Amino acid sequence: MKRSPFTRRPRLAREADQLVWLAEGLARSSSRVEDAFWESRLIAEVESLVEAEDEAALTAALDRLSQAGDRGFEELADVIESRCESTGTAADDPQAGMLLLAIPVLAWSRLRIPAGNLPDALLAQVRSDLQAHVIDPEARLVLGDFLFSPDQLPQGYIATANLARRFFAALEAKRPLRLDAGDFPETGQFLSDARYILAAVSAAPGSALFRWQAEDSNRDALLAAWSEAARNTLSGAFPACAIDVLGPQAFFSACRESDRQLRPYSLNAGVEFLRATLGVEPASLRAFVGGFHGHRLEEYRVGFALPEGEAVIHGVVWPLLDAEDENSDVIADVEQRLRDAGIVQIQVFEQRFPLEFCDDCGAPLYPNEDGEPVHPEMPEQPTSPSAHLH
Ligand SMILES: [Zn+2]
């Protein structure tokens, strides 16, 4: 039976009101004693909404706090994410202390960046790299046998909580989580993109999950050793790709970190791609940067052009993340990263570009030297007929 929006709206509003009130209370509290009051109620309220799979109430409350610029936004987001990616910490709870991890891998390739099921031998090696450098020797660990593209990750809080629950069951059963590639959508292909391996870890209450929780350890050194080992292990699963393996983190943090790092990574990949395919050095490339607007500023786009000619030969999208908006100085970061990549001829357009894509292939349009949004067109390359990348 279709639920009438008139009966739905007051209920949604009431639940969102409650979340907003508790999150604001927690944000304004000035003591851990008062925090405990707000937090326990907020956790219980979020718990019941996640159990009821009420994504709409959770996002409605977050939207309201975000629009009001309220500090309660961070508090509420924190509680929701924690509920969806982990179990509680109570010492008497046998399921306590389970955490869903994501391991981001940044990749670029002129060919296809893989996604889908991973072979057992490779997973066993990733597991052993994790145990050598990241996971405490006493902690329990299971991996999912799947390399996720961003489109294949759970979309939303409830979907994440449901997938986490499957990982936690695998953790209790001490076996890898088998995932069926048929359950996931097709992966869009880009020159550079992120992939994710998911895992779950648990420790006895009061014990460490990670090696850097030991007193004499060095977190940065452990993560550097991990990235190196994992890059060697995973390179076989990424034929014809350059890859960079980031540190494993709690699911939502890992996704945010990966989104953030993918921006400069994609700029560098674009410059490397042009060097590799056309033999053009970064110093002779021209870069045109503009802000592209839907209802608001959504992303910056960088069009690359050769020293001569009007064509934009390649483009890179730099999306805004988290709380970034028109007032954030994102453009300075884009310019700095372009200079770091060796680009010296950079032109930034002040005008508002419309958020336009190619009607045929969906490729974003990029600014050209005249400040017009145009389709990227690679010059003819006799050796590489398939390099017209979208
Ligand atoms: Zn097109």
Distance between Cα 296 and ligand 1 center (Å): 24
Distance between Cα 388 and ligand 1 center (Å): 10
> Which strand ranges, in their side-by-side order, compose the sheet holding 345-354?
314-319, 297-305, 286-293, 345-354
Q: What pLDDT score was predicted for residue 283?
A: 95
Q: What pLDDT score was predicted for residue 88?
A: 73
β-partners of residue 142 are 200
Number of residues written out for the chain = 390
Closest CA to 374 of 385, 364, 383: 364
Runs of H (alpha helix) within 86-183: 120-133, 157-173
Distance between Cα 358 and ligand 1 center (Å): 5
Cα gap 150→104, rounded to integer Å: 10
Distance between Cα 376 and ligand 1 center (Å): 8
Cα gap 116→302, rounded to integer Å: 30
Cα gap 366→314, rounded to integer Å: 8
* pLDDT tens digits for range 263-314: 999 999 999 999 999 999 999 999 999 999 999 999 999 999 999 888 999 9
Cβ atoms of residues 7 and 1 within 8 Å: no
Token pair recorded at residue 132? 């050598």
207-239 b/e (C-beta count within 10 Å ≥ 16 → b)? ebbbbbeeeeeeeeebbebbbebbbebbeebbe
Token pair recorded at residue 125? 């090696």
Q: What pLDDT score was predicted for residue 380?
A: 77
Distance between Cα 377 and ligand 1 center (Å): 9
Cα gap 143→169, rounded to integer Å: 12
Cβ atoms of residues 43 and 76 within 8 Å: no
Q: What pLDDT score was predicted for residue 95?
A: 64
- Written as tens digits, the pLDDT of the chain (390 aa) is 334 434 444 556 889 999 999 999 999 999 999 999 999 999 999 999 999 999 999 999 999 999 888 889 999 999 999 999 998 766 666 667 899 999 999 999 999 999 999 999 999 999 999 999 999 999 999 999 999 999 999 999 999 999 999 999 999 998 889 999 999 998 888 999 999 999 999 998 889 999 999 999 999 999 999 999 999 999 999 999 999 999 999 999 999 999 999 999 999 999 999 999 999 999 999 999 999 999 999 999 999 999 988 899 999 999 999 889 888 999 999 999 999 999 999 999 999 999 999 999 889 999 999 999 999 998 876 555 444 444
SS3 95: coil
Distance between Cα 151 and ligand 1 center (Å): 21
Q: Largest Cα–Cα distance of the chain, in whole Å? A: 71
Closest CA to 70 of 12, 10, 26: 26
Q: What pLDDT score was predicted for residue 205?
A: 84
Closest CA to 199 of 280, 306, 102, 129: 102
Distance between Cα 357 and ligand 1 center (Å): 8
Distance between Cα 322 and ligand 1 center (Å): 29
Cα gap 52→47, rounded to integer Å: 9
β-partners of residue 288 are 303, 347
Distance between Cα 265 and ligand 1 center (Å): 23
Distance between Cα 364 and ligand 1 center (Å): 8
Token pair recorded at residue 161? 């909580």
Distance between Cα 387 and ligand 1 center (Å): 13
Distance between Cα 257 and ligand 1 center (Å): 30
β-partners of residue 337 are none
Residue 298's CB is within 10 A of a number of other CB atoms, namely: 14
Cα gap 60→157, rounded to integer Å: 13
Cα gap 173→242, rounded to integer Å: 35
Q: Give the number of C-alpha atoms closer than 13 A to the C-alpha of residue 301, restricted to the C-beta side.
A: 27
| Helices and strands in the chain, H and E counts | 9, 12
Cα gap 102→98, rounded to integer Å: 13
Distance between Cα 181 and ligand 1 center (Å): 29
DSSP class of residue 382 equals T
